[in-house]
Amino acid sequence: MTSFKKKLNEEIGETPRFTKGLQERIVHQATQQQYKQNSKWQYPAIIVGIMVTLLFLIASGPWQQMEYVQHASIVELEQNEEIQQLSIAQNWYEDSFKAGRTGWVIGQQEYAKGTETKLIENMLQKAMVSQKSEEYYLINNLWIEFSNGQVVKLQMFKSNEQFAFLDIKTNKFYEVNDGEAVSAFTDFNFKKLDFNFLVFLVWIGFIWLGAWVAERAVRWKFHIPKEPKYVNDNHKKVVYLNKFINVIVLCIFNLKSWIIFIAADFVLILVILLPNLAIEYYFGRHEKRHYVALTTTTYTSIIFIAFLIWIF
């Protein structure tokens, strides 16, 4: 025994303080708590519940409830109203639609009222209802908002030098037979998406490197061990379950083509990162493991916002 301990014990009293009464109180509380502890299923249930709710919100989200006002034909609408906003997305598959409200969809070209909208207006004014011909092939999806707030979604077809449109809502097919309108449209040099795959790969490399450095820095700063990877078996099981759910969510997003919607991507990031944060906090907060998850969440959110600023 050190002299420090001896002296301190003399001062604070050497009579045992940890009484039988205190022991019994702890044992009683422990027995009561055991019943609560057995309900560990609540945590995974809450996480799954949150994810299902988020998925439900995505499914019933605003991107599937665009405002459509009944109109006789787009030609009629075109003659009375002007195009305020226009989005064009390249798409060759008729069973999907990739254009949407401006500022909400990744990978589309967006135009405010100007030359581009005038060219589309011009084409639509000259369009005539006709039977859909097999010679046409799909090239673009168009999302158009008119000055009265009405929104239409059109598929744009091409056949040699001819253009045609299909109104998604009314399923009416329109051909443009006016050569001047068509040539004015085709001659115009529309701005293209400036996408360089090499630059994109370099960016991905930097982002990955940044994430790696951030994780190392947090582990170093707070002395968070990398090994063992899991605090215990339960931690491992929950992490695997979470990864499995993440893969399913990713597949659903991909199959439903929700990945192009920014709001859906935000939800996707939350669905992936928040449960991870909750799991790390629940199992590893004593070792500050959740600091790593918190750093990853913050870093990913910042990178995603930076990405959005970059593409718009």
Partner 1 sequence: MNKGGALVSEHLTAIMEEHGEYCLRVAYLYVRDWSIAEEIVQDVFLAYYLQQHRFEQRASLKTYLVKITVHKSHDYLRSWKNKRHQLLSKFHFGISKRTPESDVIKAAERVTLQAALFELPITYREVLILYYYQELKVREIADVLGNTENTVKTRLRRARQLLQSKLERSDWEVLGDDIF
Give me the residues that bind partner 1 (CB under 8 A), please.
1-8, 11-12, 16-18, 22-23, 25-27, 29-31, 33-34, 37, 222-223, 228, 231-234, 286-288
Find the DSSP H helices in the chain: 3-12, 20-37, 42-59, 74-80, 115-125, 179-187, 197-222, 233-255, 262-284, 290-311
Q: Which lies closer to partner 1 via its Cβ, residue 224 or residue 250?
A: 224
- To partner 1, the closest distance from the beta carbon of 13 in angstroms equals 10
CA distance 63 to 162: 31
CA distance 269 to 264: 9
- Judging by DSSP bridges, how do beta strands 137-146 and 83-90 pair with one another? antiparallel
* Residue 85 burial (CB count, 10 A): 18
Amino acid at 221: K
Q: Which lies closer to partner 1 via its Cβ, residue 37 or residue 65?
A: 37
Q: Which lies closer to partner 1 via its Cβ, residue 23 or residue 96?
A: 23
CA distance 310 to 273: 22
- To partner 1, the closest distance from the beta carbon of 293 in angstroms equals 17
- To partner 1, the closest distance from the beta carbon of 6 in angstroms equals 8
Q: Which lies closer to partner 1 via its Cβ, residue 101 or residue 288?
A: 288
Q: Which lies closer to partner 1 via its Cβ, residue 93 or residue 222?
A: 222
CA distance 262 to 268: 10
- To partner 1, the closest distance from the beta carbon of 229 in angstroms equals 13
- To partner 1, the closest distance from the beta carbon of 36 in angstroms equals 9
Q: Which lies closer to partner 1 via its Cβ, residue 234 or residue 298?
A: 234
Amino acid at 94: E
- To partner 1, the closest distance from the beta carbon of 226 in angstroms equals 14
Q: Which residues pair with 176 in a beta bridge?
A: 127, 163
